[in-house]
Structure formats: structure tokens, C-alpha cells
Structure 1
């Protein structure tokens, strides 16, 4: 990638090149393979469908909260179904690959933002976006931290 970008078109070209590099990365290829394995795993798909159905029931119950007659039952069932789905090997492998890809993308975004300006505010709950200098929102929890970030 070139060091000098003179027009918006150049910027778009450079962005497209960066995107292609990410698409060819080992992290993305593992993500893609994990997704394909999960999509082709009949048991994983059954568990995902079961969770989706249970989530619809849960969302309906949540409208009324603890006052809904099935609140405790549905809440317990969704936790059980979610745990069963999350513990399935292909789903767990997909989630790990998804987190690795997200970390890569967050790191790239942090690098780009840092090049533009070290004071750009990024999500403070991600260690890739933490800023070492005190007084910035990235140094600990963001602007919702009760004023300790130094923002006004």
C-alpha cells in the first residue's frame, strides 16, 4: 500500500486493498471455515433453530417481565438451550473464530485511528482501543465513567 493518498478515490482503493489483505488472512480463512463447518453440521443447526424458537418465546415473556406467568420457566429454558448450543463443538469453534476476526478488525481500526489522531475516541471497553495517555475516553470505560475520563 502506498504511503501518500491524494484523493478520495485513492483512499477507497487503499481501503479495498486492505480489505483484500484481511480476506486473505489466516484469521479470516479460519472464520470462514468454521462458519462453513457450523452451517453444514445438522446438530448445530438443530440447536440454533431450537435456540431461535426459544428466544422468540423469551422475547414475548420479556415484554411483561417477572409478571408474566411463564417468566421463570422460559428464562430457565432459554439459558439451558443457549448453554447446549454454545457447548456444541462447531458452534464453539465458530464463536472463537468470530472473536479472533473481531479482534483483528478492532486492531486494524485502532491502528488507522491512531495514525489519524491519537485523541480519536474509540470504544473504551476493548483493550485494543485503550489509550495510554490519561484523560482520554479510551483509558477506562469511556464517557460514562462518571467524569473520570476527563471529558466534559
Structure 2
């Protein structure tokens, strides 16, 4: 019974931390940036354009360099992504997203290291892996792995 009460207490305290995060300035900035992004018609058009181009990219990626449109699609995807990323509203949202992720990472690290310095803690929202790559990227390095 005692262990159960300890667990309940820990869960209550973790919910309290969650509420504090939701009320933080970092989270407020993230919410504002998200709303701005959702309401920016030009940004939404760029995001949709990138999503469509990404579908073409995935089709081409199955065949790799052997696909006749490989070079064209690769250049176009990079160009469309750059255009989307350079849009001010998108850039602000990505900054806010990185800031909230950094806060969550710092909290996770603080909790984990208060228990033991040997505990592995994910960084930048990455799952715990030994290689830095879950293999889902096709080992093309697009996920940020070192392939």
C-alpha cells in the first residue's frame, strides 16, 4: 500500500510540473506562434506545397538515383523546403518549438540526473537509441543521424 501511495504522490507532482510548463512563458510563446502559423494563409500554402512535394520525393526515393526524375525532384524539394523555412511565421514557430523542446529536455535531464548520472536522457526530442537512428529514415541521414 505504501508503494502505491508513493507512486500516486509522484504522479500528482508530475502533473503539477506539467501544469507549470503549460503556464510558462515558453509555452505561451509556443501557443502564440502556433496560432499565428495556423492563421497565416501564405504559410499554410507553403506547408501544403511542401507536403505535396514530399509525396513526390517519397515516390522517387523508393527507386533512388535510378528514378528518371531523381535530380529534378531532389532540387525542387530542397527549394520548396527552403522557401517554407524562410517564411517568417514558419521560422518563428520552429524557434518556439525548439524552445519548448529544450525546456522539456532540461526538465527530463534534471529529473533523471537527480536520480542517477548514468541514466540516458533523450536530447532534442530524440528517442533513446545507441546509434542515434531508429532506421526509419532509410539511413539517408535525413533524420539527423550520421549515416
The TM-score normalised by the length of structure 2 is 0.80
Distance 1:86 1:143 in 2: 30
Distance 1:72 1:96, change over 3 A: same
Q: Cα offset for 1:101?
A: 0.4
Unaligned runs of 5+ in 1: 127-141, 145-152
Distance 2:95 2:120 in 1: 27
Answer 1 or 2: higher relative contact order, Cα 8 Å, separation at least 6. 2
The residue aligned with 1:102 is 101
Unaligned runs of 5+ in 2: 132-147
Deviations 1:97-136 (A, max 9, x none): 000000000000000001111111224x66xxxxxxxxxx
Written as runs of structure 1 = structure 2, the 5 A alignment for 1:1-80 is 7-80=6-79
Distance 2:76 2:97 in 1: 26
Q: Cα offset for 1:12?
A: 1.1
Deviations 1:39-88 (A, max 9, x none): 00000000000000000000010000000000000000000000000000
What is the Cα-based RMSD across aligned positions, in Å? 1.9
Distance 2:5 2:86 in 1: 50
Written as runs of structure 1 = structure 2, the 5 A alignment for 1:79-118 is 79-118=78-117
Q: SS of the residue aligned with 2:96?
A: helix
Q: SS of the residue aligned with 1:101?
A: helix
CA contact (8 A) 2:108 2:121 kept: no
Spell out structure 1 runs of 4+ moving beyond 4 A: none
Flag the structure with larger Rg: 1
Distance 2:99 2:34 in 1: 13
Q: How many residues align?
A: 125
